[in-house]
Amino acid sequence: MRTLMIVALLVLSPAAAYAQRQMFNVSLGYFAVNSEDARTQGDVLVNNLDFLAFNIDDFSNAAVNAEWLVPLGEKVEVGAGLGYYRRTVPSVYAAYKSSTGAEIEQDLKLRIIPMSAVVRVLPRGGRGGIQPYLGAGVGLYRWRYSETGDFVDFSEQGQPIFRATYSGDGTNAGPIFLGGARVPVTDGFLFGGELRYQKAEGNLDESQFFGSKIDLGGLTLQGSFAFRF
């Protein structure tokens, strides 16, 4: 019995030490969507540029993320996170106007809620001064894309204008690659910066959209605040 207690203490002692180093990380950053020439084949935004006037870069916007980090030794840690991004971009028909000369307007909306599982490697360990790291993992992206506004029916004589909303949503997986560094301010508080790239695509109904895909990929530059407990 005494031997079992000693073994249990030896096993649980490192686990308790590592548990004290768990962290809750909050990040605020800027999500830059993939540019026109880097987007997936059949992407609806690229196809929309054939007849709508807008900039794909305008879909880039602020993003937030929260992550729970657990160490697996001194130089490896795993994390589970949840984020949020949303952007609405106005567009108009590039070559058509209404009978009154007014622009024919739409709102293009994209929302992504990424759920992530990542592994970080810290070459210098998770204690001390500057702590650089590299990591990779997988993301599960809950997304919704919609187009709302006025549209031209080119199949009808006179090309009438009608108002409608088209939407698609889904959940798709894709890889995550990241790198960054953090600096402890106190034993329980750290701040840092990170570059994170995500790659994923969603499927759209071509009976509603001029494209079968929506590219969900892009690069996020974010600052983070971590609380160690």
Q: What CATH number corresponds to the domain at position 26? A: 2.40.160.20
Residue at 47 is within a domain: yes
pLDDT of residue 17: 39
Total residue count of the chain as it appears in this document: 229
The pLDDT-based confidence of 159 (bands split at 50, 70, 90) is confident
Phi, psi angles (nearest 5°) of residue 123: -55, -30
Number of domains in the chain: 1
pLDDT tens per residue across span 91-102? 999 999 998 999
Average pLDDT, the chain: 90
Asked if the structure places residue 15 within a domain, the reply is no
Q: Which two tokens stand for residue 219?
A: 């690069």
* 96, amino acid identity: Y
Q: What one-letter code names the amino acid at 200?
A: A
Judge if pTM exceeds 0.85. yes
Q: Does 165 reside within a domain?
A: yes
Q: Is residue 44 part of a domain?
A: yes
Residue 117 inside a domain? The answer is yes
Whole-number pLDDT of residue 7: 30
What pLDDT shows up at residue 19?
Answer: 44
Compare 198 and 21 and report the one with higher pLDDT: 198
DSSP symbol at 34 = P
Q: Which of 126, 132, 3 is nearest to 71 (CA)?
A: 126
Domain span including residue 162? 20-228
Asked whether residue 2 is domain-assigned, the answer is no
**Is residue 85 one of the residues assigned to a domain?**
yes
At residue 29, does pLDDT exceed 90? Answer: yes
Report yes or no on 14 lying in a domain: no
